[in-house]
Amino acid sequence: MPPITRIACIGEVMIELIAGHGNAAELNVAGDTYNTAVYLKRHARGLDVDYVTALGRDTFSDRILAHMTAHDVGTKAVARHPTRMPGLYAIETDALGERSFSYWRETSAARTLFDSDGAEGVPRNAAEVLAHYDLVLLTGITLAILSCNARNRLMTAIDAYRAGGGQIAFDSNYRPHLWNDPALARRETEAMWQRTDIALPSVDDEIALFGDADEAAVLARLADCGIKAGALKCAEAGPVNLGSDSTRAKVSPATQVVDTTAAGDSFNAGYIAALALGATPTDAMIAGHTLALQVIAKRGGIVDTD
């Protein structure tokens, strides 16, 4: 495996609003690939980890940038849109502890990323962005928020990037409400699987999107797409190596589950950080699972971890 020292995570970081009692609320910063970026930097301090997105010029965007800086996530690939703002989502919890989400992200600045009329501060040519990194991480959410033209530009840039030795890590992270229709989501996700060097899917997402009968069917389809490395996340059953041996890691079960937000995001971070530090795929799966257990035992997407 080629050395990994410079990593870019591409996507959308949002303002998170957690509703409390009465009119009280807690304001945080979160987003799937951003959560991964924070945990990556935290658990492999020697890595250079940058976040690639577009923000606005408002105070909430300033809050996000300050959060990135505080967590040592690089901001040089963050664009600043002159009129748009970050997306927002709210979390409410019922009497039984079940969480529900509401989103306001349709006109967020991040949706202009790689568009011809996109934000200031980052080249609109995706190839120029990717060229600075050894590994680039993105997810199905990253694809879903981009325009069709921006996705096409990104796919073309990824082809050139991989031809030059760059590596792509991808997590399908399927969210139905972000796509116009499931068929489009399937086409774009399959196109990414064919361009992926380190695959980090969740079995539930893959079954929901592609209608596979079971875990074995997911594994077979991913192999047909050319996947040769990575891990299939299977919750309490434990992750399965997507390399040649298809072994399942022996992992500890969760003893405390408070909030499953960022379970997959933190697994991705632990897995990639371990690989970058020279771990075997099996040890990387254990590292990812161990980190995810710490995260789901506390409230929030970005929590204190060992």
Question: What residues are labeled active site?
Answer: 265
Cα angle, residue 292 at apex, residues 286 and 294 outer, rounded to 5°: 110
Cα 146 off chain centre by: 14
232: β partners: 240
Contact 147, 117 (CB under 8 A): no
Give dist(CA 42, CA 71) in Å, integer.
8
Residue 102, classified by CB atoms within 10 Å of its CB into exposed (0-12), middle (13-18) or buried (19+), is: exposed
DSSP per-residue letters across 287-304? HHHHHHHHHHTSSSSS--
The token pair that represents 39 in the structure block: 């945990």
Single-letter code of the amino acid located at 284:
A
- DSSP string of 48-76, one letter each residue: EEEEEEEE-SSHHHHHHHHHHHHTT-B-T
Lookup result for tokens 């591409």: 10
- Residue 305's nearest CA partner among 262, 248, 253, 251 is 262
Instruction: Tell me the Ramachandran region of residue 238: left when phi exceeds 0, alpha when psi lies from -120 to 50, beta otherwise.
Output: left
| Sequence-ordered list of residues with C-beta below 8 angstroms from that of 226, at least 6 positions apart, any chain | 193, 194
Contact 91, 17 (CB under 8 A): yes
